[in-house]
Chain A
């Protein structure tokens, strides 16, 4: 009994204990919050995966920040506790990374069965993530005092420098596959970019100070200071230039094309849209129309028909109808020359999404192809 009390008293003085208990608490609390606040299994799984991933990233950042921060700001108030807790912070980074990976693997990618179906553009960023997870596992497995004693401190320290590679792999993983990183100008991308740069700057200053201390004669203080200022300016410039001179920072994220296409569709929905069947493509000149202009006859629905070699074809007996996606009501269209259609007089046209169905005859075949459009005010 007294031994247990003694152990409890020792644990309560150990900052690692609070970090590890806090990690277990946080993972459970987040799980319950997601289950309560977010309806729908799919979105729950996606949010859990994202939150666990972000928290793991946060712990890894804190673990990497410990050395440069405490070396540069030696009078930092919680310096000793922070440095002592660093191993537990690393274990927590691995714990949340394991949760993140497991939710992704079992919850989203269908486990072992889904492995062979992972699309090619997902493979590399997933491998970076797995590489980082393996390194974090090695760090966590060798974080016990007994392992440090067994390995010897210097060998153990060299092994734990692998954490820098893990950090690099995590940055690549996050920037390429993270859905929140598809646009280089979102607040979350900028925040994480800023924090990463801050870490680089602090590490650079630490290394400069260390080099200056070791090679003071060959490495004068003015050079150390100039280098530190130069690296800082480069980092700030790297962050600010995309913000000041581009409308949308370029991104190598695999969702970037998706997001840009989606943004383009939402803001400027006037590009042509195509629908196809096994033989023909139906191309609608634009995807957004004005109800006022359509009903007044000042705007027409111009369509064209091509074959699979993209050659224009002229159908016979073509007629078209607009079908509302909201209430399935149909609006007849009046045919003009060259596959241009206008709204019939007295037609009851509302705002909303419609499908335009074109029926036509070609080479003795009767065909119908549908293409979607939106009617605005």
Chain B
């Protein structure tokens, strides 16, 4: 049983290597922001997507109402939106929100960039996030998973339940 516990920990470390470079936290110098998208972190083409940015300035100088911020959306390097963003009373002093309706399924780069309204109060920043719109109308270059991976997943998916069923059947017989 001890070996099994150690195997689980090793497996967990192995699985960790699968999750890199997909950050919802992006930083630029002193300033970083966590981006959250509604609905469900997965925007739908043709439906308004709401973006929420929670900022952290390690120099403690950033405040949303003192920022001349722009929300920029690009698709394949071409800019399709540059919207000025103002602070909202619905949010805290370190939060900003923006709304955009993605026209079609595609991969977009969303940038929140800002500079202080009063020069020198905080460091200008530009935070870029990749957003993949997978639902709704339009075409997107589909990434077809390897058939071996699909087969392996099906086999793995069936293996444990069928093993458990066989064990239960054997126990009932005996």
Contacts and interface: CB of A to CB of B under 8 A. Distances in A.
Interface of A: 11-12, 14, 16-18, 20-29, 31-33, 35-36, 39-46, 48, 88, 91, 95, 98-99, 102-103, 106-110, 113-114, 116-122, 140, 143-144, 179, 254-255, 257-262, 265-266, 274-278, 281, 308, 325-326, 353, 355, 369-372, 374
A121 B36 CA distance: 13
Given A275-B84, A325-B103, A110 B23 contact: yes
B130 to A, nearest CB: 6
B11 interface: yes
Contact of B40 (A48, A144, A179, A370): A179
Q: Give the interface size bracket for B toward A.
A: 35 or more
Contacts of A117: 25, 27, 31-33, 56, 58
Contacts of B113: none
B20 A281 contact: no
B16 interface: yes
Contact of A119 (B18, B41, B54, B153): B54
Interface string B96-136: 01011101000100000000010000000000011110100
Contacts of B107: 40
Contact of B36 (A14, A44, A258): A258
Interface of B: 1-2, 4-5, 7-9, 11-12, 15-16, 18-27, 31-34, 36, 38-42, 48, 50, 52, 54-56, 58, 68, 80-86, 88, 90-92, 94, 97, 99-101, 103, 107, 117, 129-132, 134, 142-143, 145, 149-150, 152-153, 156-157, 159-160, 164, 167
Contact of A23 (B8, B39, B130, B156): B8
Contacts of A255: 36, 38, 52
B24 A17 contact: no
A259 B38 contact: yes
Contact of B82 (A35, A95, A308, A370): A370
15 contacts: A20-B4, A24-B11, A27-B11, A35-B145, A40-B107, A40-B132, A43-B132, A46-B24, A118-B25, A258-B50, A258-B97, A275-B83, A275-B86, A353-B101, A355-B81
Contacts of B12: 27, 95, 98-99, 102
Nearest to A118: B56
Contacts of A260: 90
Contacts of A29: 153, 156-157, 160
A353 B167 CA distance: 59
A78 to B, nearest CB: 12
A278 B149 CA distance: 53
A3 B8 CA distance: 23
B54 A43 contact: no
A192 B7 CA distance: 31
Contacts, number: 214
B90 A24 contact: no
Task: State the main secondary structure of chain A at its contact with B.
Answer: helix
Given A28-B15, A144-B2, A276-B86, 18 more contacts: A42-B41, A42-B130, A106-B19, A107-B20, A107-B23, A114-B25, A117-B33, A119-B34, A121-B54, A144-B1, A255-B52, A261-B90, A262-B38, A275-B83, A276-B84, A369-B84, A372-B83, A374-B101
A46 B153 CA distance: 20
Contact of B153 (A16, A23, A27, A33): A33
Q: Lowest 9 A-B CB distances belong to which pairs? A: A117-B32, A40-B132, A107-B19, A119-B54, A45-B22, A262-B50, A41-B22, A275-B84, A32-B153
Contact of B55 (A21, A41, A107, A119): A119
Nearest to A20: B4
A24 B8 contact: yes
B86 A278 contact: no
A20 B94 contact: no
Contacts of B1: 11, 14, 16-17, 20, 88, 144
A21 B25 CA distance: 34
B90 to A, nearest CB: 5
A173 B144 CA distance: 36
Contact of A120 (B33, B94, B143): B94
B149 A32 contact: yes
Contact of B48 (A12, A20, A46, A265): A265
B103 A326 contact: yes
A119 B130 CA distance: 20
B5 A20 contact: yes
